[in-house]
Amino acid sequence: MITNPTGTSSDTVERSTRSRPDPDPAAAVARTPAPAPPAPPRRRKRPHTPLDPRPSIPLTLVTGLVLVYTLLPLVWLLINATKDQGDLLDSFGLWFGRDFNLWDNISRTLTYDDGAFVRWTLNTFLYVAAGAGGATLLAVLGGYALAVYEFPGRRAVFAVVIGAVAVPGTALAVPTFLMFSGMGLANTPWAVIIPSLVSPFGLYLMWVFTAEAVPTELLEAARIDGAGELRIFFRVALPLLMPGTVTVLLFAMVATWNNYFLPLIMIKDPDWYPLTLGLNAWSAQARTAGGEPVFDLIITGSVLTIAPVVLIFLLLQRYWQSGLAAGSVKE
């Protein structure tokens, strides 16, 4: 222990100094060190998964190019549908003309050639309602039967369906024409409707979708409760099949609406033309020497032809994800 000249130890002096009150509280507060701020928490990077992929600049550029390639013809069509025949030939294709003539073009398109466009539109709706609607109904019934019931020859049916999917429709057009001509059905609406009822891809899609969407246990529970097969199909299975049914319906509708080659070889009467053949007839007329130039009406008719398909798609797309669990709860 070290003793200072006054006879007190250094420890005693230090304790008395610490115990003595500071005459200036403000200075004491100023001398007090400020607490260190807490360190910010470290952000952990989320691992990239298939549901949260890593951003890819090349993939984004390719997607943008595909989007431009897809929308550019549609934009050109919408812009040029507002021009008359003179502006259509003199102005820039991706900009509007001097006057906005959309409503006048629509009126002239609907009344030109004694209302031929309206007649072709009604024919197209007939082919879509009968052909695409019937194809969807047969695909749903056939796919449900093939997925739910066991019967001899099921594998053979599967092989035939897969083979039919691989055969292009154009390869069957000429044999179909010869067959319908021999039956006296050529140049009639039945020559377009009946072939449209056969949809191997729709049947295969509904077969696979039914096998995944309709649990066998659910069907067995319904049978134990005493429900018949028709009631099980309409009350239990059909709500579960709604997304697949809408998908097949949209595919069939678009294929029938845009069908060109089959009506071309089957129908010779302009009164039974669909829109695809009718607009092609106007185009051939406009290109013929001495024919009336109606390119403005052809473009406007193309816009009117696209509009119903887009509208139907927008109305039906909400059913794609609906019905996934409907019907699985017993009432």
CA 32 to chain centre: 68
pLDDT of residue 55: 72
**Pick from 36-45, 103-112, 236-245: least confident:** 36-45
For the chain, the domains span 65-100, 106-319
pLDDT score at 327: 40
pLDDT at position 49:
65
pLDDT at residue 291, as a whole number: 65
Enter the tokens of residue 69: 């390639």
Q: Looking at 96-100, 228-232, 265-269, 289-293, which range is the least confident one?
A: 289-293
| pLDDT tops 50 at residue 4 | no
Q: Is the dihedral of CA 20, 24, 29, 32 positive or negative?
A: negative
pLDDT for position 2: 45
Residue-level pLDDT at 194: 94
Return the number of other C-beta atoms located less than 10 Å from residue 295's C-beta.
16
CATH for 106-319 is 1.10.3720.10
Instruction: Collapse the DSSP code of 3 into the 3-class scheme (helix H, G, I; strand E, B; otherwise coil) and give the result.
Output: strand
Backbone dihedral angles phi then psi of residue 135, each to the nearest 5 degrees? -65, -40
What is the band of 87 on the pLDDT scale with cuts at 50, 70, 90? confident
Q: Which of 4-8, 38-42, 236-240 has the lowest mean pLDDT?
A: 4-8
Of the two residues 293 and 272, the one the predictor is more confident about is 272
Q: What is the pLDDT of residue 162?
A: 86
pTM, entire model? 0.76
**By percentage, how much of the chain surpasses pLDDT 70?**
79
State yes or no: pLDDT of 234 exceeds 60.
yes
Could you read off the pLDDT of 8-63 as tens digits, one per residue? 444 444 444 444 554 555 555 555 565 666 666 666 666 666 666 677 788 889 99
Q: How confident is the model at residue 89 (pLDDT cuts 50, 70, 90)?
A: confident
Top-ranked range on mean pLDDT: pick from 88-92, 128-132, 288-292? 128-132
DSSP character at residue 235: I
Average pLDDT over residues 263-275: 92
Q: Is 103 helix (H, G, I), strand (E, B) or coil?
A: helix
Phi-psi region of 293 (alpha: psi -120 to 50; beta: other; left: phi over 0): beta
**Do 189 and 124 form a contact (C-beta atoms < 8 A)?**
no
pLDDT above 70 for 188: yes
Residue 151 predicted with pLDDT over 70: yes
Q: What is the mean pLDDT of the chain?
A: 82
The pLDDT value recorded for residue 44 is 64
7 pLDDT band, cuts 50/70/90, is very low
DSSP 59-72: HHHHHHHHHHHHHH
The phi and psi torsions of 56 (rounded to 5 degrees) equal -125, 115
Banded model confidence at residue 331, pLDDT cuts 50, 70, 90: very low
**pLDDT value, residue 172:** 85
* Helix 133-148 with 242-257: angle, nearest 10 deg: 140
Say whether 2 sits in a helix, a strand or coil: coil
- Residue owning tokens 């069509």: 77
Look at 67 and 288; give whichever has higher pLDDT: 67
Report in angstroms the alpha-carbon separations of 214 from 188, 191, 229. Answer: 40, 36, 14
pLDDT recorded at residue 324: 45
Q: Which of 181-190, 263-272, 314-323 has the lowest mean pLDDT?
A: 314-323
